[in-house]
Structure 1
Amino acid sequence: MSADYHTICSFLYREARLLDDQQWDEWLACYHAQAEYWMPAWTDDDELVEDPQSQISLIYYPDRQGLEDRVYRIRTERSSASTPKPRTGHAVNNVEVLATREDQIDLRFNWHTLCHRNRKTSQFFGTSFYTLDVSGAAPLILKKKIVLKDDYIHQVIDVYHV
């Protein structure tokens, strides 16, 4: 697969659109089966935690199965945090390729999400770090680390917020 800058940006924009459109199956298909999805918490010393296995995280799924379970709960209304379903708008910008290897690309980008639910609009922003598997016909997210910059959260945060 060609992993040029345009292809990478198109992939990121598509993932954001799939979240906004709540196209959950297509969104999950953006992730490798072994994809790690992690949003570390901030410590009292204003540092990010470093180990999702031994420290508190805002969200942590060691593989795509955790994401699949989360989507199942959202779809079946077994998630009070997602009822009623929110309306979101994701903006992705400042995409940078950090490293390339034979079958993987490391990148970072900034994002901003607006979320409307229960007659209230919230916003979230941060930086994400991805490792993409580019060995197949389309990129797949192998690792996703989300740094939520506005960490004083007034509500439950979920995958569609970031």
Structure 2
Amino acid sequence: MAVDLDFKAVLGRFCTGVTAVTALDGDRPLGFACQSFSALSLDPLAVAIFPARTSTTWPRIREVGRFCVNILADDQQQVCRQLSRSGTDKFADLTWTPSPNGAPLLSGALAWIDCTLAQEVDGGDHTIVVGHVTALGELREAPPLLFYRSAFERLAPRPLSETPATGLRPAVTASK
């Protein structure tokens, strides 16, 4: 038990970004908030998400076979909370457009990554999901939504002179 508490306390010191994983089942949008997300591979382009085994949404997205990872901005805490709830219309009052693979691309997201389901691996109380990237794009410049020690956090503002000038790039479709 103490090791479990130590594990949570120690890993709570690792700051993560917050994403929303979405899909479209017919005309019904599906989605869940996900802080367990990672870039995985440049060749082939792949990302990983780690939904809890208790998720009731992930099995429905699995059936669709494709999904979109929406990278949330710091002003989207309510979007995260809404997509974290069970038993409600998670998309009530959320605006979105279809991504190239048809999944909900959430208004206000920083960026998005369309994926096809490539593989699932047992990860204990979570599932390790590998998604092959089919398209991606940046939508706006804003600070990311961060999660640290069981709470939302923000980056400290930096003077513009210390911020790398990246600029937004257009959406890209991965080559096959």
Report the TM-score, using the length of structure 1 for normalisation: 0.28
User: Bigger radius of gyration, 1 or 2?
Assistant: 2
Q: What TM-score comes out, normalization by structure 2 length?
A: 0.27
More helix by share: 1
